[in-house]
Amino acid sequence: VKFSRREWALTPSPYPSLSPEQKQELATIAQRIVAPGKGILAADESTGTMAKRLQKINVENTEENRRYFRDLLFSVDPSISQHVGGVIFFHETLYQKSDKGVLFPKVVKDKGIVVGIKVDKGTAGLNGTDGETTTQGLDGLSERCAQYKKDGCDFAKWRCVLKIAHGCPSPLAIAENANVLARYASICQQNGLVPIVEPEILPDGDHDLQRCQYVTEKVLAAVYKALSDHHVYLEGTLLKPNMVTAGHSCPRKYTPQEVAMATVTALRRTVPAAVPGICFLSGGQSEEEASLNLNAMNQTPLHRPWKLTFSYGRALQASALAAWKGQPANKQAAQEAFFTRAKINSLASKGEYKPTGQVDKAASQSLYTASYVY
Partner 1 sequence: APLPSSLAKKISFSVTRLNRHLTAAVLFDAATLGGLRAKMPHAYPFLTPEQKKELSDIAQKIVAPGKGILAADESTGSVAKRFQSINTENTEENRRLYRQLLFTADDRINPCVGGVIFFHETLYQKTDDGKLFPQVIKDRGMVVGIKVDKGVVPLAGTNGETTTQGLDGLYERCAQYKKDGADFAKWRCVLKITPTTPSRLAIIENANVLARYASICQMHGIVPIVEPEILPDGDHDLKRCQYVTEKVLAAVYKALSDHHVYLEGTLLKPNMVTAGHSCSHKYTAQEIAMATVTALRRTVPPAVPGITFLSGGQSEEEASVNLNAMNQCPLHRPWALTFSYGRALQASALKTWAGKKENGKACQEEFIKRALANNQASIGKYASKGEGGAAAGESLFVANHAY
Q: Please report, for residues 231, 241, 243, 275, the alpha-carbon distance to residue 266 in angstroms, rounded to integers and kept in the order given.
A: 23, 11, 10, 15
Nearer to partner 1, 137 or 276 (CB): 276
Nearer to partner 1, 7 or 360 (CB): 7
**Residue 118: is it exposed, middle or buried by C-beta count within 10 angstroms (0-12/13-18/19+)?**
buried
Q: Is 366 in the site for partner 1 (CB under 8 A)?
A: no
Determine how many CB atoms are found less than 10 A away from the CB of residue 18.
Answer: 18
Write out the binding residues for partner 1, residues 8-47 only, by CB under 8 A.
8-14
Nearer to partner 1, 5 or 100 (CB): 5
Q: Please report, for residues 31, 35, 74, 236, 276, the alpha-carbon distance to residue 28 in angstroms, rounded to integers and kept in the order given.
A: 5, 10, 23, 8, 10
Q: Is 214 in the site for partner 1 (CB under 8 A)?
A: yes
Element (H, E) at 225: helix 209-229
Candidate segments 114-122, 161-169, 313-321, 329-337, binder of partner 1 by CB under 8 A: 161-169
Beta strands in the chain (DSSP E): 39-43, 84-89, 114-118, 123-125, 133-135, 155-162, 194-201, 238-239, 277-280, 307-312
Q: 45, 132, 198, 287: which is the annotated catalytic residue?
A: 198
Q: Is 249 in the site for partner 1 (CB under 8 A)?
A: no
Give the contacts of 79 (CB within 8 A, at least 6 positions apart): none
Taking the complex as a whole, how short is the minimal distance between the CB of residue 338 and partner 1, in angstroms?
Answer: 33
Q: Is 268 in the site for partner 1 (CB under 8 A)?
A: yes
* Contact criterion met (CB below 8 Å) for 177 and 162: yes
Write out the binding residues for partner 1, residues 61-100 only, by CB under 8 A.
none
Q: Is 202 in the site for partner 1 (CB under 8 A)?
A: no
Q: Is 4 in the site for partner 1 (CB under 8 A)?
A: yes
* Contact criterion met (CB below 8 Å) for 338 and 73: yes
Q: Distance between CA atoms of 205 and 365, rounded to whole angstroms?
A: 27
Q: Is the peptide bond prior to 169 cis by the omega test (within 30 degrees of 0)?
A: yes
**Residue 304: is it exposed, middle or buried by C-beta count within 10 angstroms (0-12/13-18/19+)?**
middle
Tell which one of 156, 222, 294, 344 touches partner 1 (CB under 8 A): 222
Give the closest residue to 168 by CA, choosing from 122, 204, 136.
204
Tell which one of 166, 252, 253, 361 touches partner 1 (CB under 8 A): 166
Q: Is 218 in the site for partner 1 (CB under 8 A)?
A: yes
Tell which one of 189, 216, 263, 265 touches partner 1 (CB under 8 A): 265
Tell which one of 26, 271, 290, 292 touches partner 1 (CB under 8 A): 271
Tell which one of 269, 301, 352, 358 touches partner 1 (CB under 8 A): 269
Q: Is 167 in the site for partner 1 (CB under 8 A)?
A: yes
Residue 336 among the catalytic residues: no
DSSP class of 271: S
Q: 217, 240, 258, 287: which is the annotated catalytic residue?
A: 240
Nearer to partner 1, 218 or 325 (CB): 218
Q: Distance between CA atoms of 64 and 68, rounded to whole angstroms?
A: 6
Q: Is 170 in the site for partner 1 (CB under 8 A)?
A: yes
Taking the complex as a whole, how short is the minimal distance between the CB of residue 370 and partner 1, in angstroms?
Answer: 8
Candidate segments 140-148, 193-201, 303-311, 322-330, binder of partner 1 by CB under 8 A: 303-311
CA atoms within 13 A on the CB side of 114: 27
Q: Distance between CA atoms of 86 and 316, rounded to whole angstroms?
A: 13
Residue 163 among the catalytic residues: no
Interface ranges with partner 1 (CB under 8 A)? 3-6, 8-14, 130, 166-171, 174, 207, 210-211, 214-215, 217-218, 221-222, 224-225, 228-229, 234-235, 265, 268-274, 303-305, 373
Q: Which residues are catalytic?
A: 198, 240
